[in-house]
A and B are shown apart, each in its own frame.
Chain A
Amino acid sequence: MSEFLQHLINMLVLGGTYALLGIGLTLIFGIMNVVNFTHGVLYTFGAYIMFIVVHQLGINFFLALPLAVVAGWLLGAAIELTLLRPLRGSDIDTTMLVMIGAWIAMQSGALWIWGGVAKSVATPFPEAPLVLGPVSVSWLRLFVLAAAAMLIVVTYLLINRTKLGCAMRATFQDQDTASLMGVNVDLIYTSTFAIGSSLAAAAGALLGPVYVIFPQMGDLAAVKAFAIVILGGLGNITGAVIGGFILALAEELGAGYVSSGYRDAMGFLIIIAVLIFKPTGLFARSERVG
């Protein structure tokens, strides 16, 4: 029983960060319809910003997080302005190829600048874990869970309760009508991509100190983010959050009770099942297709 409780705690902590990765991508992939292969690199970028700010500039750990979010926002805006804006209106394959190119270039750039050897970030949290009866959890991970939850709530409110969010949803439903209503479509494209990117960078900045930081760390994260978005349904923020927790639960219980060798396969088994039986995602409202 205590082992099961420990798995549940692990799932909560892991699921929070998966959710954060998922909502960043669902904004870009789901709403903007851009298959964003740079999501993983932005995650890596956020982690390296954390490393630079804490270890090379010697600035406080807690200040590093907002700095990583801002840096991710700026890099995302730059990608949108230089790569995506000229391609607006071209088919999805062209955009996808350009994004794959950007992914490879940026990952190689990270390798060039920081080298392939993993870096680790020191944190101000105590090494001794918080013990709650039979289960224990590290303070750092609790902080990560809290920060992720906060970012998720902020994003949800931004999309559903603000004028910008309303304009974003309108733009991606019908660009021409939104434009006629006075929405600055160019600005909306750039800000949506920038917000999604800053969430990826935030996830990297939060998880970098938990794990280790290296140029390819974003690859597995990106694969999981795509899985979560498919689970939750394209553009569905609540779906991405729940999808993140489902993926974490499948991995934890799969590794704990089935076979640890297949841990990373568990999530994908679920995806295959979802794609076969409910291809629009687990939480998609019924809608007209085509």
Chain B
Amino acid sequence: MIRTFRLVPTVALAFALLGSVANAQTIKIGVNEPLTGAFAASGTYVVNGAKIAADEINAKGGILGKKLELVIEDNKSNPTEAAAVAEKLITSDKVPVLMGAWGSSLTLAVMPKLMEYETPMVVETSSSGKITTTGNPYIFRISPPSAIEAAAFKGIVDKLELKKVDFLVINNDWGRGTAEDFSKMMKEKGIAVGAVETMDQGAQDMSAQLSKLKGTDSETIIVTTAVDQLTLIFKQAAALGLKKRIITTGGSQNPDQIIAQAGAAANGTMHLTTFLPWFPEKTPNPEATSYFIAEWKKRGYDFAGCTESFRGYDGIRTAAAAIEKAGKAEPAAIKAALWDIKVKGLNGDIVFRKSGPEGKESGQSQPNVYLIEITDGKIGMKTL
């Protein structure tokens, strides 16, 4: 028995040594995503998209003559875990660049670690304004902050004849930031803002909030959260006989999943999204979009996940392009190179512009935003 116990550490050490030798042949990108918890569905889609990008890059010979390796860790939809995962990826796996961390609160928790270890991160999904305005020069965001979403939406509010809106948002940096930015835009347009209701990220019963919103004099509700909670909201709103117009923001709606799971309750709802997998010809880079969608289907993934997974695909391609440009897999060189790249993203060219306080600006790309509407279980595009 004692002998077995002695054997175990020796074998473990041998594996660890072998492992590090093998790893020297690859270039790593750390992926920090929620694979369990409230955002499991979304995080898993992003990771699947990231894998498509890595496989595509490796099939073309990798980067700098080495294979690209994704080190994927689960942040459990929990900010504390997200920070711990970032630390583990940087110090133990020695990744020179990260992609993550899906949710705004998750990304905000990771940001001090990026400063501490001077390692850049491509932010693929988070939309809180704070991420690129607090002066963290290691942040390079390819998703639109809620202010860009609000600005894009501004053009259509007259057509929708909005008079008074209520908000129902997830109670974190993402939801509260969206309510703030959209309220500001609405007020500029002379639209009244009524109740702002929040829900916990793990909450499954929103009947109380919806009952309250049913009784207000607003005609529209702006809802911000991820797909699982949205599905529940549409079902519960229908059960309460709530007949107001619902517009969702944030781009994590997976409209096909809503149609599949909420059924008729999804009809008449509108969604601000950042990708158009239903109309590849209308996207900025139709060829890349078609390749990605074909690959996604070939792997047997649910089509509904495309609106989420494309971010993982674009995020990894962005990080890889920066490594290529830097000529070496070192954090400082990659950070500098991120400012000089131009990637043909599925939702427009990815070019980073400076955002935030002078001298320590974060990078922010300007992706497109679209409004879609579900009618009779089908998705249609509204022109913004």
Asked if A3 meets B215 with Cβ closer than 8 Å, knowing A116-B35, A214-B40, the reply is yes
Q: Which of B199, B209, B240 has the most CB of A within 10 A?
A: B240
**Contact residues on A (Cβ < 8 Å of other chain), bracket:** 35 or more
Nearest B residue to A1 via CB reads B215
Bound-state Cα–Cα, A126 to B43, Å: 32
User: A111, A256, A264: which contacts B212 (Cβ < 8 A)?
Assistant: A256
A118 at the interface (CB under 8 A from B): yes
B265 at the interface (CB under 8 A from A): yes
Q: Verify B265–A118 contact, CB threshold 8 A.
A: no
Chain B residues closer than 8 Å to A214, beta-carbon distance? 40, 228
Q: Verify B198–A260 contact, CB threshold 8 A.
A: yes
Q: Which of A116, A138, A140 has the most CB of B within 10 A?
A: A116
B37 at the interface (CB under 8 A from A): yes
Chain B residues closer than 8 Å to A127, beta-carbon distance? 238, 263-265
User: B202, B238, B263: which contacts A220 (Cβ < 8 A)?
Assistant: B202
Q: Verify A10–B261 contact, CB threshold 8 A.
A: no
Q: Verify B199–A136 contact, CB threshold 8 A.
A: no
Q: Verify A260–B211 contact, CB threshold 8 A.
A: no
Bound-state Cα–Cα, A256 to B197, Å: 9
B241 at the interface (CB under 8 A from A): yes
B134 at the interface (CB under 8 A from A): no
User: B37, B198, B215: which contacts A261 (Cβ < 8 A)?
Assistant: B198
Chain A residues closer than 8 Å to B37, beta-carbon distance? 116, 216
Chain B residues closer than 8 Å to A62, beta-carbon distance? none
Q: Chain A 89-131, CB within 8 Å of chain B: the 1/0 string? A: 0000000000000000000000100011110100000011101
Q: Verify A129–B44 contact, CB threshold 8 A.
A: no
Asked if A255 meets B40 with Cβ closer than 8 Å, knowing A136-B240, A212-B232, the reply is no
Q: Verify A3–B200 contact, CB threshold 8 A.
A: no
Chain A residues closer than 8 Å to B205, beta-carbon distance? 14, 211
A65 at the interface (CB under 8 A from B): no
User: B44, B200, B203, B208: which contacts A252 (Cβ < 8 A)?
Assistant: B208
User: A129, A251, A254: which contacts B240 (Cβ < 8 A)?
Assistant: A129
Task: How many A-B residue pairs have C-beta atoms within 8 angstroms? Tell me.
Answer: 100
Nearest A residue to B215 via CB reads A3
Bound-state Cα–Cα, A136 to B200, Å: 24
Q: Verify B211–A256 contact, CB threshold 8 A.
A: yes
B355 at the interface (CB under 8 A from A): no
A residues 202-240 with Cβ under 8 Å of B?
Answer: 211-212, 214-217, 220
B residues 196-226 with Cβ under 8 Å of A?
Answer: 197-200, 202-205, 207-209, 211-212, 214-215
B239 at the interface (CB under 8 A from A): yes
Q: Verify B239–A141 contact, CB threshold 8 A.
A: yes
Q: Verify B44–A256 contact, CB threshold 8 A.
A: no
Q: Verify A118–B240 contact, CB threshold 8 A.
A: no
Chain B residues closer than 8 Å to A263, beta-carbon distance? 199-200, 203, 208-209
Nearest A residue to B261 via CB reads A120
Q: Chain A 245-258, CB within 8 Å of chain B: the 1/0 string? A: 00000011011100
B285 at the interface (CB under 8 A from A): no
Q: Chain B 220-247, CB within 8 Å of chain A: the 1/0 string? A: 0000000010011001001111000000
Asked if A111 meets B36 with Cβ closer than 8 Å, knowing A129-B239, A131-B241, A212-B232, the reply is yes
* Chain A positions near chain B (C-beta within 8 angstroms): 2-3, 6-7, 10, 14, 111, 115-118, 120, 127-129, 131, 136-138, 140-141, 211-212, 214-217, 220, 251-252, 254-256, 259-261, 263-264
Q: Known pairs A14-B207, A131-B241; list 12 more (Cβ under 8 Å).
A: A2-B215, A10-B207, A111-B36, A116-B40, A116-B74, A118-B40, A127-B238, A129-B238, A129-B239, A214-B228, A216-B36, A260-B197
